[in-house]
């Protein structure tokens, strides 16, 4: 793994590996406890104003959704964000969602959170027959519960630290033409896409710019990691919009889209070395984010 990623900062060799994470030096956190009895999501909280979320990492479905689902597990997995929960493994505060976006998409506004037509779901026919209104309401209740809980969590962090930054982690496909076809051109598909559409970019530049610069200082498998802003995606999702709407002066939400260079997007097989490399890369930004927020208070 140490050959997969290095930091290209001042006075360091481009081959210098990121130091191994020392669990003893991490903030103390609560045990990860599901916030719903059906394990819809998990929350782990620690002593920090930095939060990592992976709200599309899950594939879980309620029984009634499973019975109506027209898509196979592999078809759903191709459009989900598997293993993004592992990329935020070392964040002091984490929120991980286990429910599939094909049941209810937490990163879409409530009125479009349940995919009902193919144009909402990459041209896919999600349901073998349309879900009835009660089914849809049950799915939307999960959306409502999540955002009510999220607001409570963020309000508590805000009260303790004055401000916070939420790193909203996702992934995206770059081999849509097929497993043997050429991938999307690099010009259109950065390794890491930073989405900032919904934020007051000027207000949060003091935080976003060093975050991007620090990520750009790393190498991935012998080459500089390609990190760009608002190229493949713009950060228009519901979670970032929600944060900036509810906490306009104190909450910064940065959408981070990893190209699926850490897995085979057609078979679903993970590349564990790549996942660990990207996890360490992302976790290395946490102390900087904490210190930058502290200095700005």
- The pLDDT of residue 36 is 38
CB distance 250 to 239 below 8 Å:
no
Overall residue count recorded for the chain in this entry = 297
- b/e sequence 84-108, b meaning 16+ C-beta within 10 Å: bbbbbbbbbbbbbbbbbbbbbbbbb
| pLDDT for the residue numbered 39 | 62
Tens of each residue's pLDDT in the chain, 297 residues: 333 333 333 223 233 333 343 434 444 444 444 333 346 999 999 999 999 999 999 999 999 999 999 999 999 999 999 999 999 999 999 999 999 999 999 999 999 999 999 999 999 999 999 999 999 999 999 999 999 999 999 999 999 999 999 999 999 999 998 999 999 999 999 999 999 999 999 999 999 999 999 999 999 999 999 999 999 887 789 999 999 999 999 999 999 999 999 999 999 999 999 999 999 999 999 999 999 999 987
| Rounded Cα distance, 40 and 35, in Å | 7
Task: List pLDDT tens digits, range 175-204.
Answer: 998 999 999 999 999 999 999 999 999 999
Stated pTM of the model: 0.88
Contacts of 261 (CB under 8 A, 6+ apart): 174, 191, 220, 271, 274
Domains of the chain by start residue, with CATH: 5-11+31-296 (3.40.630.40)
Quote the CA–CA distance of 265 and 259 in Å, as a whole number. Answer: 10
Number of C-alpha atoms within 13 angstroms, CB side, residue 74?
Answer: 6
Listed residue (97, 95, 64, 101) closest to 79, CA to CA: 101
Q: For 142-178, what is each residue's pLDDT tens digit?
A: 999 999 999 999 999 999 999 999 999 999 999 998 9
The two three-digit tokens of residue 66, written as one number:
């499973």
Tokens (6 digits) for 214: 């620090």
């Amino acid at each position: 793994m140490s050959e997969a990623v290095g930091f290209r900062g001042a006075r360091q060799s481009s081959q210098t590996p990121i130091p191994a994470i020392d669990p003893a030096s991490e903030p103390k956190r609560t045990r990860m406890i599901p916030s719903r009895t059906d394990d819809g999501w998990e929350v782990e909280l620690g002593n920090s104003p930095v939060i990592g979320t992976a709200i599309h990492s899950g594939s879980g479905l309620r029984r009634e959704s499973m019975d109506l689902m027209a898509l196979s597990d592999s078809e759903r997995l191709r459009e989900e964000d598997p293993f993004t929960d592992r990329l935020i493994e070392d964040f002091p505060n984490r929120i991980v969602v286990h429910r599939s976006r094909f049941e209810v998409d937490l990163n879409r506004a409530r009125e479009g959170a349940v995919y009902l037509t193919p144009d909402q779901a990459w041209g896919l026919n999600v349901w073998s027959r349309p879900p009835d209104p009660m089914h849809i309401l049950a799915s939307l209740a999960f959306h409502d519960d999540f955002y009510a809980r999220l607001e409570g969590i963020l309000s508590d962090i805000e009260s303790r630290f004055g401000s916070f930054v939420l790193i909203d982690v996702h992934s995206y496909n770059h081999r849509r033409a097929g497993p043997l076809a050429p991938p999307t051109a690099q010009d259109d598909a950065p390794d890491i896409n930073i989405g900032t559409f919904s934020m007051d970019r000027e207000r949060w530049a003091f935080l976003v710019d060093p975050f991007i610069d620090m990520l750009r200082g790393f190498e991935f498998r012998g080459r500089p990691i390609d990190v760009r802003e608002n190229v493949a995606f713009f950060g228009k999702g519901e979670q970032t919009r929600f944060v900036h709407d509810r906490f306009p002066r104190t909450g910064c939400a940065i959408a981070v889209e990893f190209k699926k260079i850490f897995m085979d997007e057609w078979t679903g097989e993970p590349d564990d070395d790549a996942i660990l490399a990207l996890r360490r890369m992302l976790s290395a930004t946490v102390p900087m984010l904490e210190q930058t927020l502290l200095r700005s208070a």
